[in-house]
Amino acid sequence: EIVLTQSPGTLSLSPGERATLSCRASQTVIGSSLAWYQQRPGQAPRLLIYDASTRATGIPDRFSGSGSGTDFTLTISRLEPEDFAVYYCQQHGDSPPTTFGQGTKLEIK
């Protein structure tokens, strides 16, 4: 099973700033099969990025994903008030189990 470790655990930034979230895998994620989700309090997760860098339908272009192998990054270029939430990475290869990182909480500074 691939273990995903996200850092930092909490990120404190102001609206308008740039956010960089990291996700490191315990072994190579084949095919860059990595997704990012946003979860606001009391809501279901929302898909942002899949296959490491492909934005999901309707996701603003201030969200971008990059990386391959074991190191992946989610970047939010200019934070909007609605972006403050918890973010999870998920490795989504063909063979189960799919696993998630423990999450990064993005909070307003």
Partner 1 sequence: EVQLVDSGGDLVQPGRSLRLSCAASGFTFGNYAVNWFRQAPGNGLEWVGVIRSKAHGGTTDYAASVKDRFTISRDDSKSIAFLQMNSLKTEDTAVYYCARGRTWVDYWGQGTLVTVSS
Binding site for partner 1 (CB under 8 A): 33, 35, 37, 39, 44-47, 50-51, 56-57, 88, 90, 92-94, 96-103
Q: Are the C-beta atoms of residues 56 and 47 closer than 8 Å to each other?
A: yes
CB of 66 to partner 1, least distance (A): 16
Distances (CA, A) of 105 to 8, 13, 54, 79, 85: 8, 11, 22, 14, 6
Q: In angstroms, what is the minimal distance from the CB of 31 to partner 1?
A: 10
Task: Report the residue number, 13 or 56, with the smaller CB distance to partner 1.
Answer: 56
Token pair of 53 as six digits = 């860098």
